[in-house]
């Protein structure tokens, strides 16, 4: 097992890159929706045809994290409607996840899975683990149903994320999965907005195509 892990990390080097296939991983979980412990694996989500949104965060019982969890909870059903599962991951154990969700009122409406990466295996896989302090950076990753990493963003500890933008990226990915000859411009928000169709005719004519 250790040798397989070393070989895998040698291939990946400093974390997975956009466009690469994400290898399977399995995590113990705390699941606030039923108050029970469980398990989640990327293989199972892939078999179910789901998109996967992974949200790494530094630690339970911290401060910016509580605001992020509340903001993500407000958008969770929108992610699910797009066929995605959200997994929030830190290096805390499932027991600490339970205690934090139970005690912190900002997490009262959290229903998404809380993954326990106490060995830091998955955190290292995605390149968000800080070897100096044992905490994860604020990494956000979107994985397609065929396990391709399509989006990656990493923030430092003191900057909370905008999950409306993460949701916009997921909407764009689900749209582009069905319209692979198109591209979504910067201000694209949802299906029906103008897209671009790359071709020789579009060169130097982007403004005209969008206005």
The catalytic site residues sit at 65
What is the spatial distance between Cα 55 and Cα 98, in angstroms, rounded to a whole number? 17
């Amino acid at each position: 097992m250790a040798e397989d892990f070393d070989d895998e990390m040698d291939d990946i080097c400093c974390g997975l890159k956009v466009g690469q296939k994400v290898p399977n991983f399995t995590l113990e979980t705390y699941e606030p929706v039923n108050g029970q412990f469980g398990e989640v694996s990327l293989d199972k989500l892939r078999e179910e045809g789901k998109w996967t949104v992974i949200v790494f965060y530094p630690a339970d019982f911290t401060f910016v994290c509580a605001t992020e969890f509340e903001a993500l909870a407000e958008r969770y059903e929108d992610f699910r409607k797009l066929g995605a599962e959200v997994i929030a991951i830190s290096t805390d154990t499932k027991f600490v996840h339970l205690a934090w969700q139970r005690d912190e009122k900002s997490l009262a409406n959290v229903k998404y899975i809380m993954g326990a990466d106490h060995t830091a295996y998955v955190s290292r896989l995605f390149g968000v683990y800080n070897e100096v302090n044992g905490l994860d950076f604020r990494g956000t990753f979107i994985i397609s149903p065929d396990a391709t990493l399509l989006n990656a963003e990493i923030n430092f500890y003191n900057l909370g994320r905008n999950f409306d933008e993460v949701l916009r990226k997921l909407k764009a990915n689900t749209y582009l999965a069905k319209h692979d000859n198109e591209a979504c411009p910067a201000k694209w928000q949802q299906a029906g907005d103008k897209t671009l169709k790359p071709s020789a005719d579009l060169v130097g004519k982007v403004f005209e195509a969008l206005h």
